[in-house]
Amino acid sequence: NEKWEQQKNMVKEKLSDEKTGEIYGKRKTDVEPVFGFLKANLHFTRMSVRGNENVHNELGFAFMAVNLRKYNAMNGNKPIDYRNDPKKKGSNHPKTMIGTFLII
């Protein structure tokens, strides 16, 4: 396809420019890991909704999850796991679960 070859040559010329190549190289460290994390760890490969506004909202939740992960990593917070620590009381603690059941 002639147009396709022209397009490829144009992109090659742009990427051979030092400044453009440097900008494109930053993409690998800034943008791609976010989408890799969404796909690999959160299994976010497709939208489950239709419509521009709904897709915008769903992507917002996905990116919020990534940002919370980054925030936790920057602050050195460890994930909370109350299951293995009987001294801590949380929703997974058996006494709390039984107490909630008896109150209801």
What pLDDT is recorded for position 100? 47
Q: Which of 76, 79, 96, 77 is nearest to 87 (CA)?
A: 96
pLDDT in tens, 69-85: 888 888 776 665 556 66
Contact 88, 82 (CB under 8 A): yes
* pLDDT profile of the chain (104 residues), mean per 10: 93 86 79 84 87 93 88 73 58 50 50
Task: Collapse the DSSP code of 85 into the 3-class scheme (helix H, G, I; strand E, B; otherwise coil) and give the result.
Answer: coil
What pLDDT is recorded for position 52? 95
